[in-house]
Amino acid sequence: MNLSSRYDESVSFLSSIDDDWARLIELVGSCRHDPKAAREPYEALVRAIAYLQLTAKAGDAILGRLKALFEGRDFPHPEQLITADFDAMRACGFSASKIATIKAIAEGALTGVVPSRENAVIMDDETLIARMVTIKGVGRWTVEMLLMYSLERMDVLPVDDFGVREGYRALKSLAEQPKPRELRQLSQAWSPHRTVAAWYLWRMPRERGNVLT
């Protein structure tokens, strides 16, 4: 099954919601959501923190410099990040708060707060979120990225995400973005395809008003 065809059911469902969704999907084209299922939750969380509030290009560069500190490994082990030199991580481009969070995630991986992939796949979304937001600096959005991109969960909508809320505002020609609670309620009608819905909302043109008419 190719990347786009695996989402045919979700795309068909979302297209049937209303004309706005149908036009957005026609404009963007096939869904190319590309999760990295082989990654352990620990690595996925560290990556999510690295990319937080950055462009993909900037996040790639920072992660590349981090991995270069630990030659011979595809990704540093938790023990390596715990003992990593603060100044060396700062030189990679991480802020002090991100360094603290990354080290806390590494600690959580060693203590079991961050489960292995084997254990994570049998845990439901809210259980995983509740467990991992106990790590200082890890919020719901970070865990939702793990759910979407590492565990391949298909019904996740990160309602706190600016891009998702702005995408929906533009889609519906709203004067303001919906509040997270409102969007969560609205999105119940998109279940169980909310991950694909988020992927399309991230790609909604952002001009004021509905640009699909």
Q: How many CA atoms lie within 13 A of 48 on its CB side?
A: 25
* CA end-to-end span of the chain: 33
Out of 19, 124, 155, 161, the active site residue is 161
Report d(CA 132, CA 113) in Å as an integer. Answer: 7
Position of tokens 């254990």?
119
Active-site annotation holds for 34: no
- State whether the Cα torsion 15-16-20-22 is positive or negative: positive
Report d(CA 115, CA 209) in Å as an integer. Answer: 43
- Return the active site residues: 161
